[in-house]
Structure 1
Amino acid sequence: MTKKVLLIIDVQNGMFQEENVVFNGDRLIKNLNDLLKKARLTKTPVFYIQHNAPVGKPLEFGTKEWEIHSEIAPENEDIVIQKATPDSFFNTPLDEKLKKQGIEHIYIAGIQTELCVDTTCRRAFSMGYKVTLVSDTHSTWASSEITAQQIINHHNRALNWFADVYPSSEIKFN
């Protein structure tokens, strides 16, 4: 059987600031919690990716904004990996830790759709992993040109070149 992992990218307090909450933040947390329950019931490993921003920036290392959102906080057996770029693999031990556990299939969720989620999907595919993007467990913010929902919809379509794309209700880890 193919060994799987749930990878949750950058779901940190700084993404849920009152004045600038990520699009559909409450629904995102609910869907992530549902997905986490499925993963934990099937003993699917969970890896968290945590972005480290420079001093003075949102997600600055060690600040309250940098911490993983408390409603989806890691448990003892989970692995947390620090990164400094949109690519969860670049200059991180992610690939090494995945290989050490024999992981072949990565389920991707998190923030920010058009940056870290997109880059990590493409990179994982290029590295030979089977990838599933969980279509209702990633989010972003609107730009001046298009809405957040349009960005999410676009990436759910465009990333199907690199990943299978399914909503969380259709995800079964076993």
Structure 2
Amino acid sequence: MSNKALIIIDVQNGMFNEQPPVHNGKDLLHRLNSLLKEARHHHIPVIYVQHNEPTGSSLETGSIDWQIHSDIAPLDSDMIIQKHTPDSFHQTNLHDHLQQEKIDELMIAGIQTEVCVDTTCRRAFSLGYKMTLVLDAHSTFDTNNLTAQQIIDHHNQTLRWFAKVTPTTEIINSSI
């Protein structure tokens, strides 16, 4: 039997204050809340990853925009990992914490699909974790070349090499 954890990456106020804001932000927050409720009901650890940027940046450490979005606020029992790069494992204590807690299966959700979510999925796979990417609980922004939905769809297809890509409802219906 594996020990699971839910990892929510960079769902910070600043992501919703961008212009345009993160794609389908309200739906994303709704799905994350559903996952959080189910994970907590089944005593599955929740780990938030919070991106830190320097003074004057959109996710300036300690600023209002840097804070985890209040709609999915962490509980005292949740862990918060601070990071400075797209890789949630790089120069953080995430891997050590997971090893200490004997967690070997990760469910990944959050922002930004093609950057931090992608990088963290690939790194976790390389570290030997069994991975689930929550198909409809990660998001990004439109670019000059691609819509956010195109980026999300592409990554859901590509990351199948590294993770089981599963919709929120299927995860919840299987009792996480």
**TM-score category of the 2 structures, normalised to the smaller one:** over 0.9
Give the Cα–Cα distance (whole angstroms) in 2 for the partners of residues 16 and 142 of structure 1: 13
Where does residue 58 of structure 2 map in the other structure? 58
Structure 2 letter corresponding to 1:74? P
Q: Secondary structure at the match of 1:86?
A: coil
Q: Structure 1 length normalisation: TM-score?
A: 0.98
Higher fraction of strand: 1
Structure 2 letter corresponding to 1:31? R
Where does residue 49 of structure 1 map in the other structure? 49
Task: For residue 21 of structure 1, report the CA deviation from its aligned partner.
Answer: 1.0
Where does residue 108 of structure 2 map in the other structure? 108
Deviations 1:91-120 (A, max 9, x none): 000000001110000000000000000000
Q: CA RMSD in A?
A: 0.9
Task: Write out aligned runs for 1:28-47 (5 A).
Answer: 28-47=28-47
Q: Structure 2 length normalisation: TM-score?
A: 0.97
- Is residue 2:2 matched to residue 1:21? no
Please list every run of 5 or more consecutive structure 1 residues that lacks an aligned counterpart in the other structure: none
Structure 1 letter corresponding to 2:148? A
The runs of at least 4 consecutive aligned structure 1 residues that moved more than 2 Å come to none
Give the Cα–Cα distance (whole angstroms) in 2 for the partners of residues 77 and 154 of structure 1: 34
Give the Cα–Cα distance (whole angstroms) in 2 for the partners of residues 28 and 161 of structure 1: 23
Give the Cα–Cα distance (whole angstroms) in 1 for the partners of residues 37 and 56 of structure 2: 35
Task: Write out aligned runs for 1:23-172 (5 A).
Answer: 23-171=23-171, 172=174
Give the Cα–Cα distance (whole angstroms) in 2 for the partners of residues 25 and 137 of structure 1: 10
Please list every run of 5 or more consecutive structure 2 residues that lacks an aligned counterpart in the other structure: none
Where does residue 4 of structure 1 map in the other structure? 4
